[in-house]
Structure 1
Amino acid sequence: MTKIAPHIISQAPMMDWSTRHQRVFLRAITRHALLYTEMVTAPALVFGDADRLLQHHPIEYPLALQLGGSDPEQLAKATAIAAQHPYYEINLNLGCPSDRVQSGQFGASLMADPGRVHECLQAMKSASGDIPISAKIRIGIDDQDPDITLLPFVEKISNLDLNTLTVHARKAILKGLSPKQNREIPPLQPHRAVDIKRAFPHLRVVLNGELKDPAADAHWLQELDGLMYGRAAYHTPWCLAGVDTDFFNTAARTTTSAEALRSCYAYINHELTQGMPLSHFTRHILGLFKDQPGARLYRRTLTEDAHKPGAGIEVIERALNHLNLGDNVE
């Protein structure tokens, strides 16, 4: 059987959301989908506590690391540090529109400087050893016209043997819109990802942007190489439950959402002994039973009780008791 590349279905890197606790939880739902870390800045990795910043659990693999930065030398050093771990790929963030990222002159703002992007990716590739390098882009920024700027931008980096080019298929408006607005207001143009794939067929192109249901979105795979899920994978994580059977031709990881959650108990208990407040995990599972009877009380119990001193697995079980799970078959 041909091995299917993990990036065919992936979870997006999201600041404050794609924590290692969330990734462990998603791994209880899908064995094979590619998971991404939160963005780690190259200076933080080079000059800070790399062990803490790169902390993850082996169960998270296949796992990709996302880096942020605009200095090729720093990115090379950060990549060399990260390459000591068996990441599936190391990704350069070229899509984040936040003020903090802009002030560091990286993220989406780098799309105004394709020459610098080429230097950064080339430096990362030279330092990555056997680990592939990828990039996550927007279709343009501010006043750029994708009809004019997008394909020339991709052409500038298309000769670097990138593992994947993930396309968040909307522009980033850096002047005047908040990061939240940048996820909602600029209109999606998913056909732009198809344009890239047709112009550069040797690139693996992954579509990102308001995708909600892998089964319904699978038609994009007739021309593209993968689908990336951000807010849907976070707020309605059970949407990934059919991924292993539908896309990777393997048995499902778990049969019910309650079973997936309970399979994380050993991990949660271990983290609790290391000082993790229960709420650091439970904030990632609030949407697990979305729209089911009892879901509101389930969320309320977790929200009100998980932050209390000494809170443990019993809080989750108490929350689950509000749901009509029957024989645990959903």
Structure 2
Amino acid sequence: MDTMRDRFAPVVSRLLDEDPRVAVVLAEVGKDGFAEAMRRHPDRVVNVGIREQLLVGAAAGLALTGMRPVVHTFASFLVERPFEQVKLDLGHQDAGAVLVSAAASFDWPAGGYTHMAPGDVALLDTLDGWTVHVPGHPDEAETLLRHAVAAGDDKVYVRLSVQANAGGRPVDGESFLPVRQGRSGVVVAVGPLLDSVLDATEGMDVTVLYATTVRPFDGAALRRATGTAGTDVVLIEPYLAGTSAGAVDEALSDVPHRVLGLGVGRRELRRYGRVEEHAAAHGLDARSLRERIGGFLGQGR
């Protein structure tokens, strides 16, 4: 199966052909995928070199002229390093752009901690007005990329990952998708963690909601699910644990509820290893998830 990032350049290259407003801004990373698009649209595919602050600043400038910039590099260089530009050049100026990241939380362990960004979504949460998509399959990535580019002048973050579920699901860029019904708790599985969550909850009497758009947070879907499954909620995210716990609290603010937030821990893992080893170390493999979900919801292992 191809990866989400394998879909990125072909999809956006087609969007360049289809929409004269679309522009692509790169900082070396991913430029080979746009070689042909750059030949066809030399004025709308810009590589600024290894200058991530300029990457975001140039995108904001294009947006202020009426363009729809798509900006791409590793998550740590797209959200964390140029955060001041994300905050001011885009946010303060009400300039819209589509930020598309790669390498996610620990997708490239050999790159070390400089190339990991488990806090990216939490950092964007300090700003107003961002839509955040977290696809769990390449097909979903393609759909959500198109949603993001078509979203007027909105600020959108699309978080691509090498981790993926076995199959894609029909996503609409807004809603949580119920994939399992139960009566003894709600488990919200975000993006590429769905398969592990389904394996972990096999035989448990729980409702599983699948989230690929986490900002805005679909509180209405969560409330509907808790109406039949109870108000114990387990939130499982492929980035910093508890990132969306506040959104759960807000959605259920008028009813007693409990929330368990699972995700990437704050402790830095200083060994490279493999992606699967990092997932297990953070308790995001199916076996660990089953133990933690079952313990919280009082269901047997």
Q: Do they fold alike, i.e. is TM over 0.5?
A: no
- TM-score (norm. length: structure 2): 0.33
Larger Rg: 1
Structure number with the higher strand fraction is 2
